[in-house]
Structure 1
Amino acid sequence: MADTVHDTDALVDALSNVDFDRPPALVANAHITGVSVARALAAHDVPVIALDRTDSGLAPPSEAVDYAGLVTYPLDDLDGFRADVERIAAALEHDPVAFACMDEWVRGFAETEPDGVRLPFSELAGVERVLDKANLYALCADLGVPYPETYEVGAVGVDEIVEALAFPFVVKPAHKRKFEEAFGTNVIEVDDREAFEEVVAEAREHDATVLAQEKVNAEVGRDTSLASYVPPESADRDPLAVVGNAAVRYPAFGSSCLVERVEEPAVREHALTVLEETGYHGISEAEFVYDTDREAYVLLDVNTRPWKWISMPVAAGANLPMAAYADAVDGAEYEATVRDGGPRDARWVYLPDYLQRCLTDEAFWDVLSDADWASILSGEFEASEDELTTGVYRPSDPAPAVKYLTGEFADREYYCSC
């Protein structure tokens, strides 16, 4: 457990006096996803250093985190971020391995390539080929992978877009973070031309490139993603991949709060085909929805990083963070524990959002059984054979959940939902 979230100077001083027996992981940022990545790595005795721009994240008090500290936020000062990370790396005996849990941290590491830090994912050009949705959809068109009808605003005029797409349609960013900083969300639905032009104008003020996209007639409850780790070409191994269904969201069209492993060969094939074409290697999540009009899964997005329910593939026997670490560090080993050549069944639940859905949505019916709740409340789920796992809440590692609860009581807010 990291007893203190140090400022950068204090973190460098503390690490100068530590002798890790292997390269530690730098996990940034240090919130819901960060604590899950830390636990996945700590399960294999990898030391973890949690980094963030604030001390409000849930990861630092986890037993999986050895040290925690503040660094310059890459969107505020990219050179400052690189300098901070290089100072941290220089204080360590072994070159650390970076795990970036949000797009801005991915780009921060990829753009600056800090000296003394191992990056277990593609160089910036490879990341850009995936994160730029305009490029991603162009690849889908070339490869025959279904995707929603989409137009880049600017490359295509407003008049042409309004004529091509029926209202309502959605506006989303080519790159998430600038848009999210401006609007507080990654997707905006517009009902008429006036609303569309207002979003486009505000996005232009924030230098955010936006796309106009058809509103897919998606079947509720069938949102599906491929969670994968694609090794570098030099590793000469197959990707490690698990398909997850976001069976429950909160709100109904919000963030995933219950995800279960499923078999969807088309999702797996299409996602891996796109990733192979981009040349990207590393951890990623490829997001699909089931389009009832096309009667097919359509690709919406690919995140080149760990994400909120990263613990589900870990529970299924595919520890994606550890696989990435093993490829980045000479002598480190990891073997996925799969069943008959494939992943085990697994379910992941994020209790705060799931309970809110149960308590506030009269049309929603709890899909967890009494036995599931007993397993969760007793803590037996941590060693159960049905592979039920959670986000944040773990009786064996209670401090992150305690920090969440005390934060709710104090009405404090954290800037990142993941």
Structure 2
Amino acid sequence: MADRFRSTEGLIDALATAEFDRPPALVSNAHITGLGVARALDAHDVPVIALDRAGDGADTEAETVAHDGLAPPSGAVDYAGAVTYPLDDLDGFREDVEAIVDAAGTEAVAFGCMDEWALSYAEADPDGVRLPFAGSETLDDVLNKSELYATCEELGVPYPETYRLEATAASGTREADATVDEAAAALGFPLVVKPELKRDFEEAFGTNVIEVADREEFADVVAAAADEGIAVMAQKRVDIATGRDHSLASYVPPSGSDDALAVVGNAAVRYPRNFGTSCLVETADEPAIREHALAVLDDAGYHGISEAEFVYDADREEFLLLDVNTRPWKWIGMPVAAGANLPMAAYAAVTDATYESSGIEPMRWVYLRDYLSLLAGDDAFWDQLSAADWRRLVSGAFEREGDLTAGVYRPSDPDPAAKLLETEFVDREYYCSC
């Protein structure tokens, strides 16, 4: 495992004496999602270099720097270190990655585990780095919600009622179809305001969606977005059926969606319950979700790992496509444990390695930190794990038997969970929840 989280120079020095018999994977970020990707690749003996930005206040001149992510102490990670955060300096990020690859003495395969990392690998296009996913133009088309919903309209894929707003049309990629007043009249309140592209919106507003309760609040948010030069849309607030959110977890190869490796997952439990991140996910049999998600990806010409997110609209009695994430995500370990090792399939597509799924089996994934918090703090929530599940979790037998796997917690690889416990009791935390 990586014995420390190194500075960029410290990592370059360490890699200069390393030997690799195959291209290492560059996994960024280095937290829960990155840990899941690292473990999936390590299961097939792929060396992993975890890259992330240094922790706040870190001395970047030192050999070792502060970092609160959970991936570096894992036995699945061979080396870990800091690079320039690409949203701060894309050229600096490119230079750091190229220097790291040069020191390793071999090409590498990049896995971006958050939008900014995946997009930055594609936009920076560092020499010596192979991308197991589509280029930046295709990523932009998929991540642009205006384009995404236009594709849904053309393909007959259900999505929430949405209007592109005239007040921010100058920054948009498609023509507006409503004023603020027209959208308010059509959708009623509350409604949600979403950006075409969430990265700039998140930087400006600290979130990727804003729910507004009345006309005045709606107009204020749209005006603020216009001032920032960000195109936004108004969307109907969906009466979501709790526990029925589903996603298609997939790897689509360059040959197209007919050869996709895919699993439908049901986010049965979120923490917090109605709007948080998934903490219990189960495989599900929903052919329409697979069909609709792959149709959208195929139309965009996207290849790579992705999660297509659907919610169930109780009023319309159908699943609606909300978003597509063109990268791994928090519960990437569920499809891996079910028999669809998406990271390994992606790695094999750009290297001499081979991978073939032996079939998909029923599987559940639990993130115990959030699941236990929900049990302890929400009297209305009833435990959905059985006594046998808990025995297997506590004993570690779940790693060898049964249909349950866990995010972070793994007795055979204990250091990430130990670090999670350590950071729970200090006034410091990693910069994202996944």
Instruction: Quickly name the TM-score band, shorter chain normalised.
Output: over 0.9
Deviation at 1:3, TM superposition (A): 1.1
Which residue number corresponds to residue 390 of structure 1? 406
Q: Which residue of 2 aligns with 1:374?
A: 391
Pick aligned residue for 2:193 from 159, 171, 185: 171
1:184 maps to what in 2?
206
Structure-2 change in CA distance of 1:281 and 1:410 (3 Å) = same
Q: Give the Å deviation of 1:279.
A: 0.3
- The secondary structure found in structure 2 opposite 1:6 is coil
Shift in Å at residue 172 of structure 1? Answer: 1.9
Q: 1:348 aligns with which of 362, 365, 369?
A: 365
Of the three residues 394, 400, 404, the one matched with 2:420 is 404
Which of 278, 281, 290 in structure 2 is aligned with 1:259?
281
| 1:102 and 2:114 correspond | yes
* Match for residue 333 of structure 1 among 338, 342, 354: 354
Is contact 1:231–1:237 with CA below 8 Å preserved after alignment?
no
Report Cα offsets for 1:310-366 as digits up to 9, x if no partner. Answer: 00000110000000000010x20111120xxxx100000001111111111111100
Structure 1 residues 95, 224: CA separation in 2 closer, same or farther (over 3 Å shift)? same
* Aligned partners of 2:257 and 2:298 also within 8 Å: no
Q: Which residue of 1 aligns with 2:374?
A: 357
Tell me, yes or no, if the aligned pair for 1:122 and 1:281 is still in contact at 8 Å.
yes
Deviation, structure 1 residue 159:
2.1
After alignment, is 305-314 or 148-157 more displaced? 148-157
Question: For residues 192 and 299 of structure 1, what CA distance do their matches in structure 2 show?
Answer: 25
Q: Which residue number corresponds to residue 82 of structure 2?
A: 70
* Count of matched residue positions in the alignment of Structure 1 and Structure 2: 411
Q: What pairs with 1:243-258 in structure 2 (closer than 5 Å)?
A: 243-253=264-274, 254-258=276-280
Contact preservation (8 Å) 2:257, 2:297:
no
TM-superposition CA deviations, 1:143-193 (whole Å, max 9, x none): 000000112232342222222211001112222232223333322211101
Deviation at 1:390, TM superposition (A): 0.7
Following TM superposition, by how much is the alpha carbon of 1:91 offset from its aligned partner in structure 2, in angstroms?
1.4
Aligned partners of 2:164 and 2:232 also within 8 Å: yes
C-alpha distance in 1 between matches for 2:135 and 2:341: 22
Q: Give SS of 1:111's match.
A: helix
2:125 corresponds to 1:113 = yes
Conserved? CA contact 1:23–1:94, under 8 Å? yes
CA deviation string 1:268-302 (max 9, x = no partner): 00000000000000000000011122211110000
Q: Within 2, Cα distance between the matches of 1:369 and 1:151? A: 45
How far 1:411 sits from its partner (Å)? 2.3
Letter in 2 for 1:415: Y
In 2, Cα distance between the equivalents of 1:277 and 1:262?
Answer: 24
After TM superposition, the structure 1 stretch with the greater mean CA deviation from structure 2, 159-168 or 45-54, is 159-168
Q: Which amino acid aligns with 1:43?
A: A
Q: How far apart are the structure 1 equivalents of 2:108 and 2:137? A: 22
Alignment partners' CA distance in 2, 1:53 and 1:157: 41
Aligned to 2:433: 417
SS in 2 for 1:5: coil
Scaled by the length of structure 1, the TM-score of the pair is 0.96
3-state DSSP class of the match of 2:259? coil
Equivalent pair of 1:126/1:279 in contact (CA under 8 Å): yes
CA distance in 1, matches of 2:91, 2:230: 21
Following superposition, which runs of at least 4 residues in structure 1 exceed 4 angstroms of deviation? none
Local SS of the residue matching 1:256: strand
Q: Counterparts in 2 of 1:126-141, with a 5 A limit?
A: 126-141=138-153
- The aligned residue for residue 221 of structure 1 is 243
Percent of aligned pairs sharing the same letter:
66
Which stretches in structure 1 are left out of the alignment for 5+ residues?
Answer: none
Note if contact 1:382-1:389 (Cα within 8 Å) is conserved in structure 2.
Answer: yes
Q: Is 1:241 aligned to 2:258, yes or no?
A: no
Cα offset, 1:6, TM superposition: 1.0
Residue of 85, 88, 92 corresponding to 2:104: 92
Unmatched segments (≥5 aa) in structure 2: 55-66, 169-175
Task: For residue 88 of structure 1, give the secondary structure of its aligned residue in structure 2.
Answer: helix
Q: 1:356 to 1:183 in 2, by over 3 A?
A: farther
Partner of 1:197 in structure 2?
Answer: 219
Q: Normalization by structure 2: what TM-score?
A: 0.92
The one-letter amino acid of 1:15's match is: L
Summarize deviations over 1:238-280 as a string: whole Å, max 9, x none: 1000000000001012111000001000000000000000000
Partner residue in 2 for 1:5:
5
The answer to whether residue 94 in structure 2 is matched with residue 82 in structure 1 is: yes
Compute the displacement of 1:209 (Å): 2.8
The CA distance in 2 between the partners of 1:410 and 1:70, in whole Å, is 22
Structure 2 counterpart SS, 1:374: helix
- The DSSP-based 3-state class of the residue aligned with 1:60 is coil
Distance apart, 1:5 and its partner CA: 0.9
Distance in structure 2 (CA, Å) of the matches to 1:222 and 1:237: 26
Coordinate RMSD, CA, aligned: 1.3
Separation in structure 2 between the aligned mates of residue 238 and residue 5 of structure 1, nearest angstrom: 38
Q: Aligned pair in 2 of structure 1 residues 207, 405: CA closer, same or farther (>3 Å)?
A: farther
- Residue 91 of structure 1: SS of its match in structure 2? helix
CA distance in 2, matches of 1:375, 1:71: 39
> Does the Cα contact within 8 Å between 1:178 and 1:207 map onto a contact in 2?
no
Greater shift in the superposed pair: 371-380 or 175-184: 175-184
